[in-house]
Amino acid sequence: MSSQQITVFIEEKQLAAQKKNNYSFYLAKKVNDDFTVIWQSKGPLATVDSPSYQYKNTFDITTPSFMVNFTNDPVREGDLTFTSGGKNLAISTGQTTILQDTGIFTPAKNGGNASDILVTNKLQGNPHEVLLDSNGNYLWVNRQSGMNIGTATLTPKNQYQLWFGNIQETGTLIAINLSNPYVATLQDGGSIVLTYNNEGKWVTGEPADRLSAAEVKALHARVGIKDAA
């Protein structure tokens, strides 16, 4: 899968409002038919390792391969965290593995549809399948039901959910009731530009009145964002 990019402009009223609410800005990737885990985020305040969201925000998305794991945690509604039950296995779409009754994955090998990852489960207790990116960051967990004995299919999709919400760590389960999320659909190698406008609506494209570099700097100063020197 080739690189993708999502660019989001946040107009001043919403930029100020979201930071006043102490909300973070989140990104999740769809697997199978749902979004379940916070994959990337930008907080209201910058940290040493992570910039805050600002007027223009870019998510560079590259998922050339994945990792698979499982969890024995119940993953119930209202839960926010879960832990992996085994050792991450590097795998790509178009490959398959067996989760043995010992809780150990067999090496990935080619097989199945080019868009899918297949896990043949032999582990009792209905473990929930977990998908991670190639860096080991949680992408998705099946929070609907655990795996029966047999084959489970994981299909990463080119759809991404964006939203603002209360501060959570990346890799945790998405809260059930989200306010005003947006789902962006991309092609392989594609990109999209969005604006979260002053009225709190998601629209495609750049702002109607895009700010100059000097205006962006002044805006950031008004909402308490420290630009890099």
| Cα-trace Rg, the chain | 19
Are 37 and 143 in contact by the 8 Å Cβ rule? The answer is no
CB 128 within 8 A of CB 152: no
144 inside domain: yes
Q: Are residues 75 and 134 in the same domain?
A: yes
If asked whether residues 70 and 151 sit together in one domain, one would say yes
Give the residue numbers spanning the domain of 49.
4-63+167-223
The reply to whether 16 falls in a domain is yes
Task: State which of 136, 156, 176 marks the end of a domain.
Answer: 156
What is the pTM assigned to this prediction?
A: 0.91
| Structure confidence at residue 187 as a pLDDT band (50, 70, 90) | confident
**Interval 97-122: pLDDT, tens:** 999 999 999 999 999 899 999 999 99
The pLDDT of residue 76: 61
Do 208 and 191 sit in the same domain of this protein?
yes
Mean pLDDT calculated for residue range 118-133: 95
Residue 162 included in any domain: no
The tens digit of pLDDT for each residue in 66-81 reads 999 999 877 665 556 7
- Same domain as 206, residue 176: yes
User: How many domains are contained in the chain?
Assistant: 2
Give 205-228 pLDDT, tens digit per residue: 999 889 999 999 998 999 988 876
